[in-house]
């Protein structure tokens, strides 16, 4: 399966950030798919710049419904209409800042499928859950509650992002990453043997050029979801180089 390295710019990036996108496109490696998820304000211009290149543009969130009275939200259909091809759903910052439940995330993932977008569905345990030995139970509950009813291996990607590893410089051991990814794979295969075996499972949380090779070599790690290090093309491409 072809790995995916996706950059989540979060609430960073002005129109001047186009230069970084152009540098990513120019430096795209052939060994993996690349995705850049800028803030919603940049979706249209980034999609226009990336058109015809191998870099997919994604949004960072969507609403579950097609349209309606939801001030400030954008729908999956709007994201597709902007020219983007993907959306991140259930990021832990959305779950925490906007009290998104697993049911909300399931609705968003289903909306992405409805609009023909790739969904990157994020799950991950907190520090307290990890310390209490509750990581696997938490991941299982998140999968049960937030996976859409139909697994589409071409359009659904799971991102395992331990909350305590995001933006902290901390990463789990490769053994811990392997354990969680194996568990996710097992669950997906149990739900759908064919799609579950070929769905990509990304690792996210403090991925940098310096640790990418080690993390990406872990069994069942099929790419990375990158926050801070995706803001500079050189760092982002340095991570993708793990697949060169
Ligand atoms: P980070 O963020 O790479 O800055 O830790 C990852 C993410 O939140 O997707």
**pLDDT at residue 231 above 90?**
yes
Two tokens at 202?
Answer: 């990304």
pLDDT, one tens digit per residue, over 109-141 is 999 999 999 999 999 999 999 999 999 999 999
For residue 209, the domain's CATH number is 3.20.20.70
Please, are residues 17 and 38 in contact by the beta-carbon 8 Å criterion?
yes
Q: Is the Cβ atom of 169 under 6 angstroms away from ligand 1?
A: no
Residue 215 dihedral angles phi and psi, to the nearest 5°: -70, -40
The predicted model gives 174-199 an average pLDDT of 98
68: left (phi over 0), alpha (psi -120 to 50) or beta: left
Total number of domains constituting the chain = 1
Nearest ligand 1 atom, CA 204: 6
Q: Which residues form the domain of 56? A: 4-243
Q: Is the Cβ atom of 8 under 6 angstroms away from ligand 1?
A: yes
pLDDT, one tens digit per residue, over 46-80 is 999 999 999 999 999 999 999 999 999 999 999 99
Residues marked as catalytic? 91, 161
**pLDDT at residue 30 above 90?**
no
Give the Å distance between the CA of 229 and the centre of ligand 1: 8
- pTM for this model (two decimals): 0.98
Terminal Cα distance for the chain, rounded: 15
Nearest Cα residue to atom 2 of ligand 1: 227
The predicted model gives 136-163 an average pLDDT of 97
Two tokens at 242?
Answer: 């793990």
Tell the residue number behind the tokens 């509950």, with chain if given: 141
**pLDDT at residue 29 above 90?**
no
């Amino acid at each position: 399966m072809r790995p995916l390295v996706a950059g989540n710019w979060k609430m960073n990036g002005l129109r001047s950030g186009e230069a970084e996108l152009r540098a990513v496109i120019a430096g795209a490696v052939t060994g993996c798919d690349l995705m850049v998820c800028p803030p919603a304000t940049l979706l249209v211009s980034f999609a226009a710049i990336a058109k015809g290149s191998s870099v997919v543009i994604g949004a960072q969130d969507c609403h579950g419904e097609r349209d309606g009275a939801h001030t400030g939200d954008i729908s999956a259909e709007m994201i597709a209409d902007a020219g983007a091809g993907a959306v991140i759903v259930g990021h832990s910052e959305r779950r925490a800042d906007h009290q998104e439940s697993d049911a909300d995330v399931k609705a968003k993932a289903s909306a992405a499928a409805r609009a023909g977008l790739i969904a990157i569905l994020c799950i991950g345990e907190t520090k307290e859950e990890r310390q209490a030995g509750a990581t696997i139970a938490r991941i299982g509950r998140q999968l049960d509650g937030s996976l859409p009813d139909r697994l589409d291996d071409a359009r659904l990607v799971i991102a395992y992002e331990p909350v305590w590893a995001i933006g902290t410089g901390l990463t789990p051991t490769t053994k811990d990453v392997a354990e969680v990814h194996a568990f996710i794979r097992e669950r997906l295969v149990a739900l759908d043997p064919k799609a579950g075996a070929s769905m990509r499972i990304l690792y996210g949380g403090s991925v940098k050029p310096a640790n990418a090779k080690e993390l990406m070599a872990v069994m069942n790690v099929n790419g990375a979801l990158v926050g801070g290090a995706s803001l500079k093309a050189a760092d982002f491409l340095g991570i993708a180089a793990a697949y060169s």
